[in-house]
Amino acid sequence: MFTEATAEPVARLIEEFNRLPGIGPKTAQRLTYFLLRAPAEQSRSLAEALIRLKERTIFCSQCFNITEEDPCALCRNPERDHQTICVVEEPLDVLALERTRTYKGLYHVLHGAISPVDGIGPEELRVHELLARVSRDQVKEIVLATNPNLEGEATAMYLHGLLRPLGMRVTRLARGLPVGGDLEYADEVTLIRALEGRREM
């Protein structure tokens, strides 16, 4: 990919950008040459943000969302409904649901979905922690908001089987989310409808 015409630091940054999702070789080059022309301050600020990203973030010990402080701001907020927990696959799903400003409960981030093909079983997800949380706090409703695809449905079914005998209400987001799609890409109106139309499983 590189010839002797590419200085090593330039090649290195292009390679790093290229490893990111959604960034191909062309974009990686464009970003690198943009930074070369931009003031040094911009590169320094980007580098600092990258280092802080990993140094200053942890998982919330209750909901497993990404946070600076444990418990996270959502789990600490007394205004939220602590008896309703919405179970999602990824931290990005929390952002998507929060954008709707409709849901007032708490979250639980599984960090993935059950996928036998990829060797991901319940042990690889934060399922154990969810069960512990549910029996510790007096949870009244669990909203299963895993993605409307094969893995997401399988995960919802699995969790339903574990949670239903514990006596709380277990609901699933209403249909209408694009099938096979990811929650994080759903628009706000669709998400609000899916939340409001959630049904007992």
The residues binding Zn ion (CB under 5 A) are: 60, 62-63, 71-72, 75
Residue 127 CB, shortest distance to Zn ion, in Å, is: 17
The tokens of 27 are what? 């974009």
142 with 198: CB under 8 angstroms?
no
121 with 114: CB under 8 angstroms?
yes
- C-beta pairs of 56-63 under 8 Å, 24+ apart in sequence: 62/106, 62/133, 63/106, 63/107, 63/108, 63/109
Residue 182 CB, shortest distance to Zn ion, in Å, is: 21
Residue 88 CB, shortest distance to Zn ion, in Å, is: 12
65: Cα within 13 Å, side-chain hemisphere = 23
Comparing CB distances to Zn ion, the nearer of 17 and 103 is: 103
The Cα–Cα gap between 158 and 163 comes to 9
Comparing CB distances to Zn ion, the nearer of 108 and 172 is: 108
Please name the residue that has the structure tokens 């699995």: 158
Residue 169 CB, shortest distance to Zn ion, in Å, is: 21
The Cα–Cα gap between 193 and 187 comes to 10
Comparing CB distances to Zn ion, the nearer of 23 and 74 is: 74
DSSP lists the bridge partners of residue 200 as: 171
Comparing CB distances to Zn ion, the nearer of 89 and 151 is: 89
Residue 32 CB, shortest distance to Zn ion, in Å, is: 37
The tokens of 31 are what? 């970003």
Comparing CB distances to Zn ion, the nearer of 65 and 190 is: 65
